[in-house]
Amino acid sequence: MNKSTALLTITLITSSLLSGATFASCNKFQCEGVTNVLLESIKADEKNFYLTFPQGVNETLECELIDNQHAKLKKNAANYSSMQSMLLTALTSNLPISITFDTTAVRCKVESVTLKVFE
């Protein structure tokens, strides 16, 4: 392998890694990005299913995250189980997702989840 080929290979690998590592944004009532950047964790207890967002996300939204970091999945949503499954799939596969929040709620409640298979 000559120097130019090695340099091109390193550049492509680096840009590929960096592009996936920085893709996450939130604005008004929507967040989107690669799961391992967009979400810090997910939590389920006997009553709720929570998404934990990184610090600072609350300031970019027009709804309020619980403790400035958490959003609930709406249990009464018709597709609650499907949204939960899609979030778990995105998390285990580190796929890009789009999360939309209820625009009528003061507290951020997940209204829809879109799993992006191809970018």
What pLDDT score does 74 carry?
80
Q: Among 3.30.70.1400, 2.30.30.240, 2.40.50.70, 2.30.40.10, what is the CATH number of 23-115?
A: 2.40.50.70
What's the pLDDT tens digit per position in 60-101?
999 999 999 999 998 888 899 999 999 999 999 999 999 999
Residue 111 to residues 4, 18, 40, 76, 80: CA-CA distances in angstroms? 49, 30, 19, 10, 9
Q: Where are the beta strands (DSSP E) in the chain?
A: 24-27, 30-34, 41-44, 49-52, 70-73, 96-101, 109-115
User: Does the pTM of the predicted model rise above 0.75?
Assistant: yes
What pLDDT score does 66 carry?
95
Where do the domains of the chain lie? 23-115
